[in-house]
Chains A and B, each alone.
Chain A
Amino acid sequence: EVVLTQAPATLSVSPGERATLSCRASQSVSSDLAWYQQKPGQAPRLLIYGASTRATGIPARFSGSGSGTEFTLTITSLQSEDFAVYYCHQYNNWPPFTFGPGTKVDIK
């Protein structure tokens, strides 16, 4: 099973600042890595797939990078609606598909 770890667990950021979230895989997942945003009481929302491709309708301030075992989600100029929990997800090696434990981005 591919284990995903995310860092930090919580990231406190001021509106307008940049946030950098990390996801590490226990073995290579190539570029088969997605990022989701989840707000309280809502389903996850796809942000990034293929490690770096933005999903339809996702603003350009969200960007993803990495391959193999190290991945990064960067949110430039955080907006109020960006404060949420972010999960990485690998779909390279399954079953099972796995998710990271999440990074909560909150207001500093």
Chain B
Amino acid sequence: QVQLVQSGAEVKKPGASVKVSCKASGYSFRNYDMHWVRQAPGQGLEWMGIINPSGGSTTYAQNFQGRVTMTRDTSASTVYMELSSLRSEDTAVYYCARGWSDVLRFSDYWGQGTLVTVSS
């Protein structure tokens, strides 16, 4: 069965960076894009960007341009999301979510989420 398992919770100071991992299993890793979506406490869902695990190409939301980097390790079937220059407003649960196809890019499977807390 498809599984996306994310790394554990993180606590970071303002100005630091965080790198969250998402290990995929149960399907052909290279064939499905991966989205990253975040959710601040008590708030809605915010799309951050997408990575194609096959070629590594990425598209980021304008709100995160310059601060986010998405990478992948195909040998480990894992994608990574690194967010830099953290501020308190980046406190959120970060999700990876598999894209259904390269035409219909909604997400069908989601990771369990990783809580990132930014606090001095």
Contacts and interface: CB of A to CB of B under 8 A. Distances in A.
B104 interface: yes
Given A95-B60, A96-B62, A46 B106 contact: yes
A99 interface: yes
Contact of A91 (B45, B46, B105, B111): B105
Contacts of A45: 110
Q: Is the interface of A mostly helix, strand, loop or mixed?
A: loop
Interface residues of A, number: 22
Interface centre among B61, B106, B111, B112 (most CB of A within 10 A): B106
B44 to A, nearest CB: 5
Contacts of A32: 104, 106
Contact of A96 (B61, B108, B110): B61
Interface of B: 35, 37, 44-47, 49-50, 59-63, 95, 97, 100, 104-108, 110-113
